[in-house]
Amino acid sequence: DRYQLWGGCFQEEPSDVLRRLNDSLCVDVRLYQQDIRGSIAWARELNRCGYITDDDYEAIYQGLKKVETEISEELCKNGRLSDAEEDIHSVVERRLRTHAGEAALRLHTARSRNDQSATNTKLWMMDNLTNLINEIKKLIMVLKDRAENEIEIIIPGYTHLQRAQPIRWSHFLLSYAWMLRDDVLRLEEQQCRLSRCPLGSGALAGCALDIDRERLARSLGFECVTPNSLFAVGSRDHILEFLNWSSMCGMHLSRLAEDLILYGSQEFNLVKFADQFSTGSSLMPQKRNPDGLELIRGAAGVLLGDAIAFSCVLKGLPSTYNKDLQSDKEIMFRSYDKLLDCFKVVTGTITTMKVNAARGEALLESGMLATDMAHALVRRGVPFRRAHHLVGAVLQRAAELAVDLREMPHEEYIAICPEFESKADIEKLFSWEASVEQYISTGGTAKAAVKQQITQLKEWLK
């Protein structure tokens, strides 16, 4: 028979279809450890304040430990609980009764599932979000290691997906490492709002018993307590913050995925993905598809959708707890699981892919040095705006003559601008290495500037 935490004033059972909509066990079973940890802390606080005896506390504590073991074993074996109860709170309490008897009836004193559920979710986040931070750090490490080992490789840098200027491949990789580092910092910055304990807020009005909420909060690893019970039971802003954060991470991974998908196409042929991170076609034997990266690009859309979906759930809710809030966990777990896998797949893909250095060089063309050519004129005293136009004329002339800039006769340069008088100066421009090495100031693509980034990231990763 189904154990229900309420129903004294009801004559009939809820309809099957309402039950189906209402039951959340298949989702919130994932919180069983947090639920039990929260209950032990709650019982201990009640005991310390004289509301339950030492014997009852001991029975509850031992009973909850047994329930935890039982549930963990059943989940290991079956992957789910077959209990008929509506949620994990009811399951734990019913099972506790079989181990602790009458004492179990005292556990829920002055507590509501509203503060309990809010606390469980926060505890779960405090326990699990560091997994995401660790995965992001692994990815940053892989990017940094590749950047260090492949610093000699020069590739075209693009704006508007048009060839722009030569850059170091490492510089490209590190651009994502920095983006991801900000993601880590952002998640850490949310910690102070997450780490406020809602327990002791009751259903909405607070706790009528004289308990020490600060002590209770600290015993659960929180930094402090929620300052207002209505806010505590009705807010899911910390979850929304997490979902918004996830959607931003997803967006970053999606952009990285898109770059790599392009670079892995035959047209670019800059990178090749390992078998482990490629998939084939059922029809075309030659195909090697970057499905993992495409799934990540797609997942970013779902993550963004989930963040917006949950905003829509919250918008317009009246104060304090409303059952709409129950969807928080389903969405949060889904985003968390998806994002964690995405990070792992990106990290695996980047660790195992090969970069084609020769192809990087082959994709460079002399037009990408036009900016450097303008700078050469600036060094000879030509104002930049004029230099920009003059180099434009050089490019146009080369196109007319159908020659590469490197092959265009020196007289043609001088005819456009006398400051091109030194042939050697022009010839010096036609080196990819010399080009990138000019960009030496902080944040640039010269080797020293890239190495500086690597050092900073290493320092941060420590």
Minimum distance of ligand ARG from residue 22's CB (angstroms): 8
| Closest listed residue to residue 256, CA positions, set 179, 332, 313 | 179
Q: How far is the CB of 226 from ligand ARG (least distance, A)?
A: 16
Tell me which residue of 121, 107, 129, 128 sits closest to 40, measured CA to CA.
107
Nearer to ligand ARG by Cβ, of 41 and 299: the residue is 41
The candidate with the shortest Cα–Cα distance to 427, out of 389, 376, 382, is 376
Q: Give ∠ CA 396-399-402 in degrees, rounded to 5.
A: 155
Length reported for the chain: 462
Cβ closest to ligand ARG, residue 326 vs residue 422: 326
Which residues contact ligand ARG by CB under 6 A? Answer: 24, 28, 87, 113-114, 117, 321, 323, 325-326
- Whether 160 is a known active-site residue: answer yes
Nearest distance, CB of residue 457 and ligand ARG, angstroms: 40
CA neighbours closer than 13 Å in the CB half-sphere of residue 439: 19
Q: How far is the CB of 318 from ligand ARG (least distance, A)?
A: 14
What whole-number distance in Å separates Cα of residue 120 and Cα of residue 129?
A: 14
Which residue among the candidates 15, 72, 265, 281 is catalytic per the annotation? 281
Nearer to ligand ARG, 314 or 363 (CB): 314
Token output for 50? 């004289």
Token pair belonging to 239 = 């979850």
Locus of tokens 């651009």: 175
Our CB check for ligand ARG shows the closer of 111 and 171 to be 111
Calpha distance 346→132 (Å, rounded): 13
Sign of CA dihedral 402, 406, 412, 416: positive
CB of 174 to ligand ARG, least distance (A): 42
Shortest Å, Cβ 197 to ligand ARG: 17
Nearest to 64 by CA among 85, 86, 88: 88
Q: Among this protein's residues, is 281 annotated catalytic?
A: yes
Where helices occur in 237-277 by DSSP H, the ranges are 237-264
Report the residue number, 64 or 332, with the smaller CB distance to ligand ARG: 332
Identity of the residue, 321 or 343, whose beta carbon is nearer to ligand ARG in the bound complex: 321
State the catalytic residues: 160, 281
